[in-house]
Amino acid sequence: MKKNNPGALLPILVFLVLYLGLGILFEYVMAIPMGFYNIPIVTAFLAAILTACLQNRELAFDDKLEVMAQGMADKNIITMLLIFLVAGTFVGVVGRSSAESVAYFMLSLIPARFAVAVLFVVSCFVSTAMGTSVGTITLITPIAVAVAAASGFGLPLCVGSVMGGAMFGDNLSFISDTTIAACNGQGCAMKDKFRENFGIALPAAVATLVLILVLSLGTELNGAVSQEYNLIQIIPYVLVLIGGVAGINVFVVLLIGIVSGAVIMLATGQVTPVDMIGNMGSGASGMFETCMVAVLVSAMCALIREYGGFEALLSAIRKVFKGKKGGQLGMGLLVCAMDVATANNTVAIVMANPIASEMAREYGISRKKSASILDTFSCISQGVIPYGAQMLVALSAANELGYELSAFDVIPNLFYPGLLLVSSLIFIFVVPEKSEEKE
């Protein structure tokens, strides 16, 4: 057991002050667009690690390097980094036209009255297949704007439905960076976390869909949206979904998606071989910052654990949250707090992982359940904060098309995150515990 040392948590405080403080300054005082995302998060973590290295002078600097190296050398960290890079390559290969094809195909089949429900369902599918909520919002929001303009549905409702569906897939997808971070950080198989998570997310999604349909029935329609689409381009997504649900190794699943996507995109003339290789590199390089954050956080947390910071945090949690159910709620609130502070659910999960692992052992929470709680609660908070990437990208896409929209117009229409919170609390406090094998 490490000694109880609250001062060891200072590096986390330094990171939050730098990142959150500068983010608020840039976004709301200086009115810089996407202000939070102009803060170099890697630099903020380097400052936090420097703070950790200056602490505890009883430990030599070489010994501190050894502690950080052991933290970074964890098998789960290495696996996480490799999956991030391969998932980025997959997204680079399939491109954006595949997601648009799904949306326009569904809109061509379903009556215009159900167009908003289609936007939600399509966003659920695309985000689950692509593994990115921001990418889904970027692709589908212009379609949502077109639906609002042509049909008579309110733009906040259309955009809110897209954001809700995007967070559904962000929470469940096998290639989502949040899923990768949660599963590898907690040491559980992705298929186990998916099954645990699905029972929470599906009721919330169904309730959201019903609510959207009820609101849609009372809307007077003006027209519909139509656009060309190519169904063959959705095959890589479908293969990745089927392989993931079937429990095939994630690297094999992603390799199948990359190969099938490359063959289809080349055969249909969507891209040249040279551009395809460039897109693979761009997709992988898009994950570099996330990979670097994972490495730096693991190094920082190794020092905090060595100094006794985690033991201090766990002692505080024990005083407030009692029993297994209380521990699960405490774990969820922990990752929510980190997400609100960082405005990045992947970073929040990576930061919470080592603390959540200690909590899981302390409270007897299974690995798949702890991974599910971390991913779900981080997506709940990320889906509603007005300065998160998801909200900022959605507003930017609408504004670029000439529509004035604010976060506070959209937030009342974010049904899915609210219902996901209700479903999560029911899952923790009402649903009986299943008998689980020893892990």
Q: How does pLDDT run across 344-383, given as a tens digit for each residue? A: 788 788 878 888 888 898 888 999 999 999 999 999 998 8
Residue 204 confidence (pLDDT) above 90: yes
Is 229 part of any domain? yes
- pLDDT at residue 434, rounded to an integer: 63
For the chain, report the end-to-end CA distance as a whole number of angstroms.
Answer: 22
Q: Could you tell me if 375 and 349 are in contact, meaning their C-beta atoms sit under 8 angstroms apart?
A: yes
Residue 291 to residues 6, 85, 136, 257, 347, Cα–Cα distance (Å): 28, 8, 21, 21, 10
Query: What pLDDT does residue 113 have?
Result: 82
Is the pLDDT higher at 32 or at 37?
32
User: Which tens digit of pLDDT belongs to each residue from 267-316?
Assistant: 888 888 898 899 888 888 877 877 887 788 788 888 888 888 877 777 78
Does residue 174 belong to any structural domain of this protein? yes
User: Would 244 be classed as within a structural domain?
Assistant: yes
% of residues, the chain, pLDDT over 90: 19
Nearest CA to 345 among 388, 310, 304? Answer: 388
With CA atoms as reference, report the closest residue to 99 among 220, 231, 204: 231
Q: What is the spatial distance between Cα 371 and Cα 373, in angstroms, rounded to a whole number? A: 6
In a domain, residue 383? The reply is: no
Residue type, position 112, single letter: A
DSSP assignment letter at 220? P
% of the chain with per-residue pLDDT over 70: 90
Provide the residue range defining the domain that includes 395. 8-308+389-415
Secondary structure element (H or E) that encloses residue 27, with its range? none
* Residue 39 in domain: yes
* 246-259 per-position pLDDT tens digit: 767 777 877 888 89
Strand, helix or coil for residue 112: helix
Q: Is the pTM of this model over 0.85?
A: no
- Residue at 349 is within a domain: no
Return the H-helix or E-strand segment holding 327.
helix 323-342
Q: Is residue 178 part of a domain?
A: yes
Q: For residue 438, what pLDDT band results from cuts at 50, 70 and 90?
A: very low
Q: How far is CA 319 from CA 1, 177, 226, 316, in A?
A: 18, 32, 58, 5
Q: Do the domain assignments include residue 324?
A: no
Number of domains in the chain: 1
